[in-house]
Amino acid sequence: MKTDQLINLLSTNLEPVKRGETKRTLTWTILAGGLAAVCLMLATVGLRPGGGWFISGYLLLKLLFMLTLIGAGAALLAKLVSPGQDGRKLYTVILLAFLAVGSVGVCALVLAPPAARDQMMLGSQWVTCALCIPLFAIIPFSALIWALRNGAPTNLRRTGAVAGLVAGALGAVAYAFHCPDDSLPFIALWYGGMVALCALLGAMLGPRLLRW
């Protein structure tokens, strides 16, 4: 085939393109994915027993941590699906969020009496936490991959990693409404750790799932 033939084909009866659709799709995908994760939480582990979930300052802290990651991650994805853009500042935001939570967790642990440290790190349900966050992240992750495939990501590993991060953070938001464990080291270790794991899995799956 000659290239002129292809150009003919592509420019015959050209349709105008709607602007801003990629970003809108991403926003809706994140909202819908978050909602799906919350529904899955309600259907499986349920809200925190005793109804104490809405007054806990720890809940706000967990949400703040995760919403920072979701916000920065969403802004990054909007750049990553559009070739030739980069968003270095946003990586710094993500890194700082992890560093801040990590160092606060370590400080709290150091200041605590040695006998209480195990309880602070493991809480009462670390296994549930470690299982639920990735589990709740599956639907948001699939939805994000679908949305990103409509874009044009050129760095597939990085795009996959950020998609994993956002999905993991959405899973963690859902889990936070169940989570009975209120301690800073717990948040740093299990919330931070599991979301980072989701990002790692996303980085591994990205090149396979996002090719175009």
Judged by the rule CB under 8 A, the positions of this chain that interact with other proteins are 1-19, 21-22, 81-85, 151-152, 154, 211-212
Q: DSSP 3-state assignment of 180?
A: coil
Q: Give me the least distance between CB of 33 and other proteins, in Å please.
A: 21
CB of 89 to other proteins, least distance (A): 16
Nearest-approach distance from CB 29 to other proteins, in angstroms = 15
By C-beta, is 4 or 118 nearer to other proteins? 4
Rounded CA-CA distance 171/125 in Å is 16
Give the nearer residue to other proteins in terms of CB position, either 82 or 119. Answer: 82
Shortest reach from residue 74's CB to other proteins, in Å? 15
Shortest distance (Å) from residue 69 CB to other proteins? 24
Rounded to whole angstroms, the Cα distance separating 99 from 112 reads 20
Structure tokens at 181: 């464990």
Question: Is the Cβ of residue 78 or residue 106 nearer to other proteins in the bound state?
Answer: 78
Tokens of 68: 């920072």
Query: Is the CB of 52 or the CB of 83 nearer to other proteins?
Result: 83
Q: Could you please report the per-residue DSSP string of 109-132?
A: HHHS-GGGHHHHHHTTTHHHHHHH
Shorter beta-carbon distance to other proteins: residue 27 or 124: 27
End-to-end CA distance of the chain: give it in Å, rounded.
Answer: 21
Cα–Cα dist 65/162, whole Å: 16
CB 66 within 8 A of CB 169: yes
Nearer to other proteins, 79 or 117 (CB): 79
Q: Are 128 and 41 in contact, with CB atoms under 8 Å apart?
A: no
Which contiguous run of DSSP H or E holds residue 155?
Answer: none
What is the nearest approach in angstroms of other proteins to the Cβ of residue 170?
A: 23
